[in-house]
Amino acid sequence: MKFINIGSGNMVAAERVIALASPDSAPIKRLVSEAKEEGRVIDASCGRRTRTVIVTDSDHVILSALRPETISNRLYDSDAADTDDEEDTPV
């Protein structure tokens, strides 16, 4: 089973991901709102601005602070679980 780092040390199973979307459009905002009401939202953004909405095959909606392009690259990279999160770099 391949896991993808979605930021802040959080991982998601790659084969469970159905879609990656930007949270800015009205349909995605509505999807997130409905999922919150039904208790299907997992907020993995750790208080940061949500940049990606991840939809899984179990109808869960995961919020991530990483850009969709970053997660997409990790999804198709063979060693995605081993890459460091850009948020964890020392200042």
* Residue 17 pLDDT > 90: yes
Give the type of residue at 18. Answer: I
Q: Where are the domains of the chain?
A: 3-78
Residue 78 backbone zone (phi > 0: left; psi -120 to 50: alpha; other: beta): alpha
**pTM recorded for the entire structure:** 0.82
Residue-wise pLDDT tens digits, 22-80: 999 999 999 999 999 999 999 999 999 999 999 999 999 999 999 999 999 999 885 54
pLDDT of residue 77: 84
Mean pLDDT of the residues in the chain: 89
Segment 47-59, tens digit of pLDDT: 999 999 999 999 9
